[in-house]
Amino acid sequence: MSQQVSAKKQQELQAQYSSYKETLQAIAQKIGDVETEAEEHKLVLETLEPLPGNRKCFRMINGVLVERTVQDVLPQLKTNADGLKKVLEDLLKQYTTKQEELEKWKRQNKIQVVTQ
C-alpha cells in the first residue's frame, strides 16, 4: 500500500515539476519575442531620428500601411519602445521569481533532477 502512495506522490511531484518548467519556458519565449520587437523598434528609431521631421514615412498599423511624417511617427515609436522595455523588465522579474519558487520547491521536496 505504501508503494502506491509513494508512486502517486512521485507522479504529483513530477507533474508539479513539469508545470514549473513549462511556465519558465513560456516566460522565456515571451522574453525572446519582446527582445526581438524592442530591437526592431531601436533600429527604426535610429534610422528615423536623423531625418527631417517633415519627411514622408510609412507605418504598418493593424495590417494597414499608413502614410505619416517622421515627426508624427517618432513620438509613437519612442512610447512603444519604452513600453516594451517595461514589459521586458516585468517578464525578467517574473522569470526570476518563478525560478526562485522552483528552487525553493525543489529544496522543500528534496528533489534532485536527473538528466539522461
| Residue-range domains of the chain with CATH | 1-109 (1.10.287.370)
Segment 63-100, tens digit of pLDDT: 999 999 999 999 999 999 999 999 999 999 999 999 99
- At 90, list the grid cell: 516585468
**Does pLDDT of 3 surpass 60?**
no
**Does pLDDT of 2 surpass 90?**
no
This prediction's pTM: 0.82
3-state secondary structure 71-112: HHHHHHHHHHHHHHHHHHHHHHHHHHHHHHHHHHHHHHCCCC
